[in-house]
Amino acid sequence: MVFRILADPGLDVILSRIDHDLADKARSAGCPCGGALHSARYPRKPRCGKDLGSDWRWRLSFCCAAEGCRSRVTPASVRFLGRRVYPAVLVILVCALAQGLTCRRRAILRRAIGVDRSTLERWQRWWRDSFPSTRLWRAASARFLPPVDTAALPLSLVSRFGRWCVEAIVRILRFLSPLSGPASVSSCRLR
């Protein structure tokens, strides 16, 4: 099922469109100093088991045009989870699928996706230990009734957003997008 979602050509189009909409909103809001924002996108080299296309090679970002400011404004993203080298969709789906698998099946999943064992373990530690303490989760967790089982993250969270389909994955990526901005990098240690 994860391979079907990742192979869906519509997913890339939807995620790119959402990221461009988020970037347009950030640009129209302008810099906090009042200056205009100019494009200052920067290169990304996301790792994945497939070619993600040229749009994934750039992170949308802006730089203030005001003399003396030059502040960078990087909008939220549904494609990238902060400074991570793997796409956000992969971090979510692989960790959710790895829960409850035998060691052998987990190894098969890792090889199929191209994720190292230590990387998968680090992601799972982040979901278990760091994610529940993020500002996003502390603010949003009370809205889930019954409560989401934090010991079973991210699988328990994914199941709240619907079936294993593109629409459900897009909903969870939108929910997690505040973690993709620079303000969240320090509280979101995951590569």
pLDDT at 186 over 60: no
In a domain, 188, yes or no: no
Number of domains present in the structure of the chain = 1
In a domain, 118, yes or no: yes
pLDDT category at 190 given cuts 50, 70, 90 is very low
Give long-range contacts, CB 8 A cutoff, 24+ apart: 167-175.
169/5, 169/11, 169/89, 169/92, 169/93, 170/11, 170/14, 170/15, 170/18, 170/78, 172/92, 173/15, 173/18, 173/78, 173/79, 173/88, 173/89, 173/92, 174/18, 174/78, 175/140
In a domain, 123, yes or no: yes
Range of the domain at 20: 2-182
Mean pLDDT over the full length of the chain: 84
Q: How do residues 70-110 score in pLDDT, each as one tens digit? A: 899 999 999 988 777 788 888 898 888 888 778 887 888 77
Q: Poorest-confidence range of 119-123, 141-145, 163-167? A: 163-167
In a domain, 187, yes or no: no
Q: What is the pTM assigned to this prediction?
A: 0.84
In a domain, 133, yes or no: yes
pLDDT at 49 over 60: no
Q: How do residues 24-35 score in pLDDT, each as one tens digit? A: 999 999 999 999
Q: Poorest-confidence range of 11-25, 41-55, 73-87, 123-137? A: 41-55
In a domain, 171, yes or no: yes
In a domain, 189, yes or no: no
In a domain, 190, yes or no: no
